Structure formats: structure tokens, C-alpha cells
Structure 1
Amino acid sequence: MTTTATPASPGRMPGQIKYIIGNEACERFSFYGMRNILVPFLISSVLLGYLPEGSEREAMAKDVFHTFVIGVYFFPLLGGWLSDRFFGKYNTVLWFSLIYCAGHACLALFEGNRTGFFTGLFLIALGSGGIKPLVVSFCGDQFDQSNKDKAKVVFDAFYWIINFGSFFASLFAPLLLRNFGPAVAFGIPGVLMFIATVIFWAGRRQYVNVPPSGNDPDSFLNVIRTALRERRPGQGNAGALVAWGGIVVAVLMLALWALKAVGADLPWWPDSFGFVITACLALGVLIAFGGWGASLQLERARGRHPDAAVDGVRAVLRILIVFALVTPFWSLFDQKASTWIIQGNAMVVPHEQWWWPSWLVKEPAQMQALNPLLVMLLIPFNNLVLYPALRRMGFVVTALRRMGWGIAISGVSWIVAGVLQLWIDGGAEVSLAWQSLPYLLLTFGEVLVSATALEFAYSQAPHAMKGVIMAFWYLTSTFGSLWVLLTNAGVRNDGFKAMIAQTGLSEPAFLMFFFAAFAFVAALAFALYARRYPMQDNYRVAT
């Protein structure tokens, strides 16, 4: 049952939307403000003072950043579950927002204390991740059949606000760090997050609150469980064996990590595989083997669950393969806030050039502002110019083709970044302005992948499974950062370092070309799978 204190007037924009949009604007500025200065702060801070300046400290800063990103995109699973099962969207968003505020406070107060600062990062990952899957859907709950035509306007505003907040946060947060220090640079995003929470709370008497659904007997996990447990005379249980094999492997991995952590001598288990890497690998094994096993005997769930639920689970399992092939893209994309900032620090800011906005752009980290700015320009360009032109030329611009090309173009952006690194390694003074080209290519890839993927997943998944799809979509970023952590762990190996040295490339240049190749291989695998993917159309039928 849906309850509301102030029902929306028929055909009109719900008045409570202003509170949700205001909350989103402040929250996005707070998140990108702290996120985009995290790596430069760590490189220069006493938190990593136990490491010598240079590549070791930069590598650790990257590890911390990508571990943080893993948490941000893992905790939506927790937030969505708590909302759906127990507390509803409003209460879950409000309480996670308070955790979020506490995390910002820790960053500002404990800039020189490793435990306090890393606790703050954990709380921000928990709070930001916890509300991530809920705010947009909570916004959608405010509309009904009488004013649903206004929802698109609001969702467009959401997208615009996200990029607006990211743009200004990327521009000004590095200046705050440079001119006023970390306490202010992390404190101002914290103040904005507190304002975001107050704005959200202020609309509490006007919101439509859809109560939690509780335990759905035909949910994704319940259908999977039935398929794996159901026994049929004369049929084997290959699916269940595969799923149990995944559970055994995942538990074994966690056990090996635990033994290593208490000092056991396990030379064949990498020292650099800490808890985060091991837990993510174990989660990946569970998803892969569980999904494979369920697909082998999914038909056994029919009769115990409606056909629509079983077909929905099969659609989700197919989409998961698409999502898995997208994870390499995120390993490239999220490094613009780590690897590319480190590269920018070795470049020359062209203050002497008349065309360079020296009054505003003073730090390499500010180049990240190009990403949201280009997103706001490229989406209308693609929709109004590029796609219509390609259609007139006879090219069919499908969602899967756009995503495959987006992954490949992101690989090209890293080829360009690698060439810039070769110039730097050769002793040339390279202008920071050159980074505009890889940013343009990477953002073009992002628009083709990210904006298209949600449209694709929405069309492929039945209505009852759309929430599950969103949870798995966020996990693509988690596994994208996992690939970065695994690569960073690999370059600490003496044998791998020797191999890099034999190429004649510096470690940064080698890794840039490595990630470009990673993207090209993923794009090829994506194209091969897309050719045999059975497209569905699960848009709601108009009434």
C-alpha cells in the first residue's frame, strides 16, 4: 500500500521533487569534491609517509582510491536490500546519509591520522553506496498515472544535476586543497552533504512513501534457489554441483587469506591479495558459478514459480554476461581519478599560453572537470547529430553495438595516454592541455557504454527484475576497480617487474598500453557475444 501526506495534484509536478533534486545537487558535489582530490592528497600526506616519495607512494594511493570505489559500488546491494525488506526508501536514505556525513567529518578532522581518515573513507563508501540505488527510484515513487509525463523532465534534471555537481566539484576541490589545505578541502564537501541531508529531511511530510515489499517468494534469489535444489528423477544435478563448486572455491579463497593474515607460510598465495581483493574474487566466483549452475537447470523452477519469474531470471543471467564484459571499461574509466592525475602531475600546466584559463585551472586534478562537461555536450550531439547521420548512411545503431564501440574507444584513449607517457619518460616537457584528447575519447566511450547500458538492461529485464539489474550494474564498477588492484598487485612482483623492464617501457607507460589491450580484448569478446544475444523487448505496454 502506498501512503502519502500530500498527494500530487493531477497532471502537475509533485511539489516534493524540489527537496529530492536539491538533495542530489549537494550530495553529488560533496561526493565528487572529496573523490577527485583523494589521490593527490594521499600522495602528499603523512598518511603514506612510511613509503618513499615516488612510484611506491603513488601506487599505494591508487590502491586506496580503487578500494574506496569498490566499496562505493558494492554497498548498493546492502542499501537496496534494507530498503526493500525492512525500512523503505525514505528511512534508508536518511540514515545512510547521516553515516555519509560522519564519514566526511572524519576526513576533515583526521587528515593526519590513518585510522581516523580510513574510517571516514569506509563510512562515505557505506553511506554513498547505501543511498545510490534508492534516490532515483524514490523520486520515481512520487509520480502516478496522472502526472507520469513529468517524470522524464525530472530524470533529465537528475542527470544534469549529477554532471553539474561533478563539473564544479572537479574544478574547485583541487583549488581548495591547494590554497586552504585538506581540512577545508574535505570539510566543505562534508558541509554540503549535511545540507543535502537537511534538505531531504525537510520534505518528509510531503513524500509518497512506498512501504517495503518484504520477502518476495518469486524473487531472483528464490527462483535461483529453487532451480538448484529441485531434484528430478532420471536427471542429474550438474547445475547444483557447479554452484556448490563455486561456494567451495570462494570459501577456500577466504580461508587462504585468513591463514596468510595470521602468519601462515603459503608461498603460492600472493602476499598482495588482501581482504578486499580476496573478497571481490570470491564474490565473482559465487556469481559466475552460481549463475552458470542455475542456468543449467533453471527450467526446474517452473511450476514452483510463475513462468514470468523464471523467464525473468534467465534474462538477468544473459544480461550478467554483457555486464561482465563491460567491467574492463570501468577499470579504465575510474583511473582518470588516479593514474591520469599522477600522469598530469608530471606534465606542465601551460600558464604562459593565452588560451589557457590560468585564473581557474591551476592543478592537474582539475582536468577531471572535462569529463562531466563533455558528457553534457556529447549526449545531445550523439542523439541529434551522430546517430541520425549513421542511420542515414545505413548503419543500424543498436544498444549493443554502441556499448562495444564504447569499450574499444576507451582503449584508444589509453593508447593516447600511453603515448603522452612516452613523451614524458623521454624527458620532454608535455603540456597538460594534451590530456584533453584522452579525456575526450574516454568520455565518448563512457557515453556509449554507461548511458546505453541502462537503456539496454531496462529493455531486456522484466519489470520485477529491474531492481536486481541495477544492483548488478553497480557491481560492474566494483569489478572494474578489482582489475586495477590486481594489476597493481602484479607489478609488485619481481618477475613481472623484470618483464616490464625487458620491454624498455616505464611501468606507467607499460600499464597504460596494457589496459588499452585489455579494453580491446573485452570489446572483441563483447562483439562476439552480442552477435548471438537474443534481444528482448520488455517495455511496459501502454494502456
Structure 2
Amino acid sequence: MEIESQEPFPKNSIARRSERTIDIQGVKHHTSSWRACSYILVTQCFEELAYFGIQFNLVTFLKTVLHDSNVTAARNYTNWQGTCYIAPLVGAIIADSYLGRYLTTVAFFTVYLLGMAAMSISASFLKGGSSQSVVFFLGLYMMAIGAGGIKPCVSSFGADQFDDSSPAERLKKYSFFNWFFFATYIGSFVSGTAVVWVQDHYGWAVGLWLPTLFIALAIASFLLGSSKYRVQKPMGSPIVRVFQVIVAAIRKWNAVLPYDDSLLHELPEKTPMAADIHKLQHTPVLRFLDKAAVISSTEDPSDSDPWRLCTVTQVEELKVIIGMLPIWTTGIVFFAVLAQFSSTFLEQGRSMNKLVGAFAVPPASLASFDAVSVLIWVPVYDRVLVPAARRLTGSARGISELQRYGAGLLLSVLVMVAAALVETRRLALASAHGEGQSSMSILWQVPQYFLVGASVVFTCVGQTEFFYNEAPPSMRSLCSALALLTVALGSYVSSLVVTAVAWLTTRGGGPGWIPDDLNDGHLERFFWLLATMSALNLAVFVYCATQYKRKTVS
């Protein structure tokens, strides 16, 4: 896996960066980096307080207030979460194509706040009946669209505050993604403990207005930093740019590629449009796409139709996206494994001894150890591991995004190995004592939850960095949205695997690996299956990472 080159950016790159970097008034702007990002990190923390304040207890609300059945509540929850991770694609396209990340964030935050307010009103003033359900679900899906729309924008907008042409600011950007996830999991931890407790003890009127307040504070924090932000101008629809290359290449199916790549079409340095785009060097892969940049004898490059003639940079942008796809797919399996910590891990915990002294530990509460692990690992990684890695590798970032990503995938294997070993021991004790519930303490699950948190710090942060840094500037929000899409696809893969295992292992009338009474099944085999899938996924990733060629800016 490649380590990022520490060569400084060329001077013309610095000039291009400054010309497309402005403040919200449209004036050229020099970033104050961490001063600007402090507002963004506070915004992210408050937003996650609101988001998880709804997510953690949504099924409970649907069942106790709206009186949904178990199946209906589960389906409504899944549909809502799916919307949360499809909406990022919409937000990303709007940000990259039309409004830019700042205005897109403000717009979707407004939808978010209105949705939260509608849910709160339904719980406070509409008691029972169809009107309560209609208003609540209207608010719930407005919230999903708002939350999804800002997800690919906020992290990318925070990274935009750092100037890649400055080595000092480039180092700060490496740390930003760590602290962005730190802020995220502060919100997760506080919501999973304090906010859920308020909802359970003070009712849903207070319990929903509290997350609404958090969103209002998130918006206030974001707007307070407006004068400090650097804002990058949108550079046109990334989807259109992609299709222009494909259409132009197909139209020139019979064109002959020149022997000299410099004869392919590219905008000259003095062209105004070229000042807004990092020119990418030509790469000798996917040569068919290069036909989109072949200049025919009848074409005038200075006045060409982009659906017939594209620049080398535009072609290389598409090559970059295609090149990242194999690595993108490995994230799907990773999130399929992580989906277990909110599903089969809970089932495992319910079959264990939940008493710790006189206190009964709810199995769902162990998920907080995932957040605690992230809150521990982020500063350890940023302040201990990175400086040590810098001394060993000589690289300013310590280890590359792909090396970090791979380390997280290795940890995901260990997550499932730990869960399988715990389940094997639990079954042995349950069998030996002939008990319906194992005498094995639920605290034996803590290591697997801590490993989940560690894998998040490595893989999720590495994934976010990789897609931001490698994506063309015109497609950064879109690529961030694609990274988020792996979360939803991973959940679907997890459901598919569980369904397939249940069908295959219950053929012939047996209880299967995952029966209602886990003492009659073999959940450990399911965990070993996922460990094997994770190991194969890691092997695929290592191969893809060694073959991956980083984009090169001219």
C-alpha cells in the first residue's frame, strides 16, 4: 500500500487553489483552519446528539406511542435508516453541482430542524389518532432527508478549511478527520446514555424537544463560524461530467489514439476554467476512455462540445472513480460485520448472565463500550501512534489512508473471532450446568465491543480520508456520499447472510445456527463464518490496495 508523497504542491497549484477558494461573501479567503473547524466540530457533536437521540429509541416510540407491532416497527425503522443513507447522494449532488457545501449544509439543516420540530409537536400536542402518526412520520422523513443531506457535506467542508498547498495545514487536515469522528461519538455516547434516560423517565414530549434543541444549537454553531470559513465554488454536476466522458468515448469508438499522449485535449493554463480545476496527469489505464479526449480533424478544441470532446483531466476524473470502486466494495463487507453489534451481539448478551453484583446490565447498554472505545482510540491514534509511525516511516501522516483502512479490516476479523470464542465458552457452560441462561457474565462481551470501536477508528476514518483526498475536487461530496452508502449496503448484506444461514441450517427440521433459544443453536459457527468473510475481504483489500495508483496532479 502506497504512502503519500510529501512533495510540496507546485506554485501553479497554489494559485489555482486560491482562485477557487472564497469566503461566503465571494471574496478570496485565506483559511484560519482550526479556528474555522472548531465551529464545525461543535456542529457535528450537536447534530449527532440529535440524530442518535432519535435513532436509539425510535423503535420504542413506534411501539409504545404509535402502537406499531414488532414487525411494523422494525420495518419503519429500517425504511427510515435507509432514507438516512440514500439522502447523502442527493445532498452531495446539490453541493458539488449547484450550491456548494456551505449553502447545502444550511439548506438541509433547515429541513432537519423543521422535521425535528414536527416530531416534537406530534408528541406534545397530538395525542393518539391518525393525525399524530401523519405529523410524526412527516417529521421523521424530513429529518432523514436533512440528516442525510448534510452527512457528506460537513466532513468535506471541514477538510476544505485546510490548504493542501501548505505542508503545515496538510498535517492539521490529517488530524481533523480523527477529531471529526471523536465529536461524532461524543454525541453517540451522550445520546445513548443521558438522552435515552431522559426519554424513558420524563416522557416523549421532553425527550423529542431535547434533540430538537440540539439541532438548533448545531445550526447556531455552524452559522457563528461563517466569517471564518473558506468556501470552494461548485464546479458543475459531477454526474454530467462523468456521462460526458462516456458519451464522447462511445461516439469516437473508431478513433485512433495518438502515439503521444500530449496530443490529447487539455485546457491550457491561461484558460479561466483551468484555474478552477486541478489538472490530472494522464494514466495508461482504461485506454478506451481516452478516446473522449482525441481531437478529430473537424474539431476546434477552443470551442468544442463537451459531449464530443473532453479534457484529459475530465477523463482522469472518471478513471479515479472507477479505480476506487474495488476498495469501496470492501467497505460493504466491513459494515455487514459491524451490523452484528446491534443485532446478534444483543441476542448473545440476552443469553448470558446479566447480573453484575446487584445490578442487571441491559444488553443494549454494552453498545456504549463501542463509543467509549472510539473516544479512547482517537486521541491515542492522533497523539501516540501517528508520531511513532512518522519516526518509523518518514511520512508526515504516519501511515497512509489505505494502511489505516487495512488495519481496521484486520481488527474486524478479530471482532468476530472474539465473539465466536465467547459464544463457544457460553454454550459449554450452559450445557455443563443445564441452564436456560448461561452462567457466563455478560461482561465477557466487552472486549468485542472495544474491538468494534477500534476498527471504526481505523477503517471508517481511513475510508473518509481516502475518498476525500483521492476524489477530484468537483466530486468530493459525491464520493463522501458513496462512502456512506456502504453503511446501508452493509446492513442489507448482513440481512441477506442471516437469511441464507437460517434457511440453509434449518433444512430438515433442525433448529439451525440462530434459533430463538441460542442454547439449541450454534451462533459461534455464524460468527466464525463472518470472521472468514472478513479475512477474505481483508485479502481482497490488500490486493486492491497494492494495485491502486494514486491520482497525480499536474
Task: Give the Cα separation in 1 of the matches to 2:526 and 2:249.
Answer: 40
Q: 1:20 aligns with which of 34, 40, 44?
A: 40
Q: Could you say if the C-alpha distance between residues 413 and 313 of structure 1 is closer, same or farther in structure 2, counting changes exceeding 3 Å?
A: farther
Indicate the residue corresponding to 1:309 in structure 2.
Answer: 314
After TM superposition, give the deviation of residue 540 of structure 1 in Å.
6.6
After TM superposition, give the deviation of residue 386 of structure 1 in Å.
10
After TM superposition, give the deviation of residue 79 of structure 1 in Å.
0.4
| Structure 1 unaligned regions, length at least 5 | 51-56, 236-293
- Any conservation in 2 of the 1:295–1:317 contact (CA below 8 Å)? no
Task: Give the Cα separation in 2 of the matches to 1:211 and 1:9.
Answer: 12
Residue by residue over 1:417-475, the C-alpha shift from the partner in whole angstroms, topping out at 9 and shown as x without a partner, is: 64487578842255332321220222233333223333444565555554443222111
SS at match of 2:485: helix
Q: Could you say if the C-alpha distance between residues 193 and 314 of structure 1 is closer, same or farther in structure 2, counting changes exceeding 3 Å?
A: same
SS at match of 1:503: coil
Q: Could you say if the C-alpha distance between residues 185 and 11 of structure 1 is closer, same or farther in structure 2, counting changes exceeding 3 Å?
A: closer
Q: Could you say if the C-alpha distance between residues 445 and 21 of structure 1 is closer, same or farther in structure 2, counting changes exceeding 3 Å?
A: closer
Indicate the residue corresponding to 2:52 in structure 1.
Answer: 32
Task: Answer yes or no: is 1:71 the counterpart of 2:92.
Answer: no
Q: 1:182-221 alignment to 2 at 5 Å?
A: 182-204=204-226, 207-215=229-237, 219-221=241-243
Q: 1:232-251 alignment to 2 at 5 Å?
A: 232=254
- Any conservation in 1 of the 2:96–2:235 contact (CA below 8 Å)? yes
Indicate the residue corresponding to 1:260 in structure 2.
Answer: none
Q: 2:342 aligns with which of 317, 337, 345?
A: 337
Q: 1:352 aligns with which of 351, 357, 363?
A: 357
After TM superposition, give the deviation of residue 132 of structure 1 in Å.
0.7
Task: Give the Cα separation in 1 of the matches to 2:233 and 2:527.
Answer: 45
Q: 1:57-206 alignment to 2 at 5 Å?
A: 57=70, 61-110=73-122, 113-144=132-163, 148=169, 151=173, 155-204=177-226
- Any conservation in 2 of the 1:406–1:444 contact (CA below 8 Å)? yes
- Any conservation in 1 of the 2:352–2:426 contact (CA below 8 Å)? no
Task: Give the Cα separation in 2 of the matches to 1:386 and 1:198.
Answer: 33
Q: Could you say if the C-alpha distance between residues 222 and 350 of structure 1 is closer, same or farther in structure 2, counting changes exceeding 3 Å?
A: farther
Residue by residue over 1:314-363, the C-alpha shift from the partner in whole angstroms, topping out at 9 and shown as x without a partner, is: 3322321222122122123234334444554565543526xxxx6xx964
Give the residue type in structure 1 aligned to 2:529. Answer: A
Give the residue type in structure 1 aligned to 2:151. Answer: K
Q: Could you say if the C-alpha distance between residues 338 and 307 of structure 1 is closer, same or farther in structure 2, counting changes exceeding 3 Å?
A: same
- Any conservation in 1 of the 2:156–2:480 contact (CA below 8 Å)? no
Task: Answer yes or no: is 1:328 the counterpart of 2:333.
Answer: yes
- Any conservation in 2 of the 1:400–1:530 contact (CA below 8 Å)? no
Indicate the residue corresponding to 1:376 in structure 2.
Answer: 375
- Any conservation in 2 of the 1:66–1:485 contact (CA below 8 Å)? no
After TM superposition, give the deviation of residue 413 of structure 1 in Å.
4.5
Residue by residue over 1:138-192, the C-alpha shift from the partner in whole angstroms, topping out at 9 and shown as x without a partner, is: 2344455688366556555433322222222222233223322333333311221
Task: Give the Cα separation in 2 of the matches to 1:406 and 1:347.
Answer: 24
Question: Percent of aligned pairs with the same residue?
Answer: 23
- Any conservation in 2 of the 1:405–1:448 contact (CA below 8 Å)? no
Q: 2:324 aligns with which of 310, 316, 319?
A: 319
The structure that has the greater radius of gyration is 2
After TM superposition, give the deviation of residue 539 of structure 1 in Å.
7.2
After TM superposition, give the deviation of residue 309 of structure 1 in Å.
3.4
Indicate the residue corresponding to 2:451 in structure 1.
Answer: 441
Q: Could you say if the C-alpha distance between residues 442 and 501 of structure 1 is closer, same or farther in structure 2, counting changes exceeding 3 Å?
A: farther
> Which deviates more from structure 2 when the two are superposed, residues 215-224 or residues 380-389?
380-389
TM-score under structure 1 normalisation? 0.71
- Any conservation in 2 of the 1:66–1:482 contact (CA below 8 Å)? no
Task: Give the Cα separation in 1 of the matches to 2:236 and 2:29.
Answer: 29
Give the residue type in structure 2 aligned to 1:333. Answer: L
Task: Give the Cα separation in 2 of the matches to 1:109 and 1:496.
Answer: 47
Task: Give the Cα separation in 2 of the matches to 1:436 and 1:85.
Answer: 45
Q: Could you say if the C-alpha distance between residues 305 and 159 of structure 1 is closer, same or farther in structure 2, counting changes exceeding 3 Å?
A: same
Indicate the residue corresponding to 1:243 in structure 2.
Answer: none
SS at match of 1:212: coil
Q: Could you say if the C-alpha distance between residues 341 and 216 of structure 1 is closer, same or farther in structure 2, counting changes exceeding 3 Å?
A: closer
TM-score under structure 2 normalisation? 0.70
Residue by residue over 1:184-236, the C-alpha shift from the partner in whole angstroms, topping out at 9 and shown as x without a partner, is: 3333112211221233234445544434323469833432444455432799x
SS at match of 2:235: coil
Task: Give the Cα separation in 1 of the matches to 2:496 and 2:134.
Answer: 24
Give the residue type in structure 2 aligned to 1:134. Answer: C
- Any conservation in 1 of the 2:378–2:457 contact (CA below 8 Å)? yes
- Any conservation in 2 of the 1:70–1:479 contact (CA below 8 Å)? no
After TM superposition, give the deviation of residue 529 of structure 1 in Å.
5.5
SS at match of 1:133: helix
Give the residue type in structure 2 aligned to 1:34. Answer: I
Task: Give the Cα separation in 1 of the matches to 2:135 and 2:357.
Answer: 41
Give the residue type in structure 2 aligned to 1:82. Answer: I
Q: Could you say if the C-alpha distance between residues 339 and 32 of structure 1 is closer, same or farther in structure 2, counting changes exceeding 3 Å?
A: farther
- Any conservation in 1 of the 2:330–2:540 contact (CA below 8 Å)? no
After TM superposition, give the deviation of residue 513 of structure 1 in Å.
4.3
> Which deviates more from structure 2 when the two are superposed, residues 184-193 or residues 474-483?
184-193
Q: 2:289 aligns with which of 298, 304, 317?
A: 298
Number of residue-to-residue matches in the alignment: 466
Q: 2:549 aligns with which of 523, 536, 542?
A: 536
Q: Could you say if the C-alpha distance between residues 486 and 445 of structure 1 is closer, same or farther in structure 2, counting changes exceeding 3 Å?
A: same
